[in-house]
Structure 1
Amino acid sequence: MGDETNRTSISEDVLAYLRSPWLTKFAPAVYTVVFLISLPLNLTAIMIFLCKIQVKTPAVVFMLNLAVADILLVVLMPFEIIYRSSGNHWVMGEGMCRFVTVVSFCNMNCSILLMTSISVDRFLSVVYPMQSLLWRTVSRAWYVCLFIWMVSIASAVPLLISQLTVRIDQLNITVCYDTTAHKGFETIYFHYFTAYISIFFLLPFIVTIFCYAGTIRSLSSPKIESTFKKSRSVCLCITVLFEFIICFGPTNTFFLLNYLNINKPFGDSMYFAYIMSFTISSISCCLDPVIYYCGSSKFVKYIYSLVCCGKTEADHKQKDRRLPVFYRAGI
């Protein structure tokens, strides 16, 4: 491993944030909480999608893939927890460092694009319910998800082929993607990272806002009297926008600013802000189950059956018959 690890002299600012309790205590605490909450929630969601609801609508296809993306990230969080708790000392080799980093980036990109797909599907089902029946098919949803996975993996190729571990002799540690001294990035800063932010954040964010604005405006029509559909759509909109603004917005902003100012005096401080925002972005794995809850009435029913064990399937069917038609249909 020593032959593969880049050795470099690090500035005092970098040494300070690598020793900071924000990275050695706060970050592992966040990852631990996310792991303990997100893993059972997303595993339960996958089981419900596959065994109970079954994958029969485009919305379920997108939500199932979102849950899978979260699981792939969460199962690797123990590596991050050990790394941060050990004083940012990576002992698992260059290959594992690249793998964990690539999975983290793929999760964020997949989450953003899948949430955008859910917003588009919701918009079409509400604003153009009849016209979109031919477009909104399960097979096309799977094609969209396959494209999203391929694009997300391709976006992380520069990380996969770059050296990400750096030996810090001053602290006697090896860090994993925690400094700006990565080989292979120097010639692709501006073009790669500006395209990256545009494709994986700005454009999806604009599309999502447009879709939910149109959805809520359509649901505000006096013709729709029931509050069930309105409340679920508003809840879905708030959750998704919260993830965009709080989880993914700061991460992508600092990501771009860091690489545009990597050689500036404040570049190291910008990178520290990026690392912290990336840590906070992992909270999205805990918020995604709220999307499933708001996005599928059947998901709500089966969650209710798990929590209230005394309720039988017949009870749910009887209750389901009392609900509005659109709610029973899982719109």
Structure 2
Amino acid sequence: MWYEEDAETHEDVPWTDKSAKKTVPDVYVGNLAVADLVHVTVMPFLIHQWARGGHWVFGSTLCTIITSLDNCNQVACAAVMTAMSLDRYLALVHPFRLLSLRTRSRTIRINLFVWAASFIMVLPAWVHAKVIRFRDGLESCSLNLVSPKEVLWYTLYQTVTSFFLPLPLILICYILILCYSWRMYRKNKKAHRYNTSLPRERVVRLTKMVLVLVAVFLVSVGPYHILQLVNLSIPPH
């Protein structure tokens, strides 16, 4: 059988309420939209600094807030995508397990926890982000990491929490989903249940969707973290 539609009705309302369908994934999509909104909010400040050759004109307090929000948003976005991938795995592969976790209210609390944890995880940014005055008079907003060792450890910490830890978890969830979907398709095909089970076109469409989601994650955050790691290998002048 294919349980996707049944899984999406695990809400705090009766199953007969049609409007309740897909509210769990909608919560995750809504949080990704919030992450995009935060990104759009902080980007003009970062672009302004870049356009002025690294000069920051908005003061030390706003420097700390913008830098911390930017770092927090990276961690939260990756965490939400990981949680959403796990939710998709539970909904499609184990639709009748852990039903108490897949409710709208619990999903909201999970996402609130993700954001709170993200704020805590970027505590170094809250502490070290400030306006730095260089010898040539340039005042730039950055993390005041005074030693190469501090730069190394913070870059590795940020890269692992925002990219190298979420990526394999996301991949594992979707690989398991695809394996389950193709296994059910072959089982139903062998039993000649074409009209009441998962058709091949639907499995192919799911496969393409998974590839697109993973590709978007890689393209959107991968280059930044790879460049961060490459910069570590460049000796300071």
Q: What TM-score do the two structures reach when normalised by structure 2? A: 0.74
Measured after TM superposition, the shift of residue 77 of structure 1 is: 2.0
Select the residue among 123, 128, 134 that pairs with 2:100. 134
CA contact (8 A) 2:63 2:141 kept: yes
Measured after TM superposition, the shift of residue 187 of structure 1 is: 7.1
For the residues of structure 2 that align with 1:201 and 1:76, how far apart are their CA atoms? 20
Change (3 A) 1:54 1:218: same
Select the residue among 118, 121, 144 that pairs with 2:84. 118
Measured after TM superposition, the shift of residue 248 of structure 1 is: 2.0
Select the residue among 102, 105, 109 that pairs with 1:143. 109
Measured after TM superposition, the shift of residue 234 of structure 1 is: 3.0
Select the residue among 221, 224, 227 that pairs with 1:248. 221
Measured after TM superposition, the shift of residue 118 of structure 1 is: 1.4
CA contact (8 A) 1:88 1:175 kept: yes
Measured after TM superposition, the shift of residue 175 of structure 1 is: 1.7
Name the structure 2 match of 1:308. Answer: none
Which amino acid in structure 1 is aligned with residue 172 of structure 2? F
- Per the alignment, in what secondary structure is the counterpart of residue 165 of structure 2? helix
Q: How does 1:215-294 map to 2 (within 5 A)?
A: 215-220=177-182, 221-222=184-185, 223=188, 224-225=198-199, 227-228=201-202, 230-231=204-205, 233-255=206-228, 258=231, 261=232, 266-268=234-236
CA contact (8 A) 1:166 1:175 kept: yes
Name the structure 2 match of 1:209. Answer: 171
Name the structure 1 match of 2:139. Answer: 174
CA contact (8 A) 1:97 1:176 kept: yes
For the residues of structure 2 that align with 1:163 and 1:141, how far apart are their CA atoms? 32
Change (3 A) 1:83 1:208: same
For the residues of structure 2 that align with 1:111 and 1:229, how far apart are their CA atoms? 27
**Could you report, residue by residue, the CA deviation over 1:146-195 in whole angstroms, capped at 9, with x for unpaired residues?**
1110111112211111143222343x432222xx7x24677755665545
CA contact (8 A) 1:155 1:196 kept: no
- Per the alignment, in what secondary structure is the counterpart of residue 75 of structure 1? helix
For the residues of structure 2 that align with 1:69 and 1:132, how far apart are their CA atoms? 27
Name the structure 1 match of 2:41. Answer: 75
Measured after TM superposition, the shift of residue 215 of structure 1 is: 1.1
Name the structure 1 match of 2:55. Answer: 89
For the residues of structure 2 that align with 1:122 and 1:100, how far apart are their CA atoms? 32
Name the structure 2 match of 1:18. Answer: none
Measured after TM superposition, the shift of residue 105 of structure 1 is: 0.9
Measured after TM superposition, the shift of residue 199 of structure 1 is: 3.5
Q: How does 1:182-193 map to 2 (within 5 A)?
A: 182-183=144-145, 193=155
CA contact (8 A) 2:63 2:129 kept: no
For the residues of structure 2 that align with 1:133 and 1:253, how far apart are their CA atoms? 38
Unaligned 5+ segments in structure 1 are 1-52, 270-331
For the residues of structure 2 that align with 1:153 and 1:216, how far apart are their CA atoms? 33
Which amino acid in structure 1 is aligned with residue 201 of structure 2? T
Q: How does 1:92-103 map to 2 (within 5 A)?
A: 92-103=58-69
RMSD over equivalenced CA pairs, Å: 2.9
Alignment length, in residue pairs? 207
Unaligned 5+ segments in structure 2 are 1-18, 189-197
- Per the alignment, in what secondary structure is the counterpart of residue 166 of structure 1? strand
**Could you report, residue by residue, the CA deviation over 1:286-325 in whole angstroms, capped at 9, with x for unpaired residues?**
xxxxxxxxxxxxxxxxxxxxxxxxxxxxxxxxxxxxxxxx
Which amino acid in structure 1 is aligned with residue 199 of structure 2? E
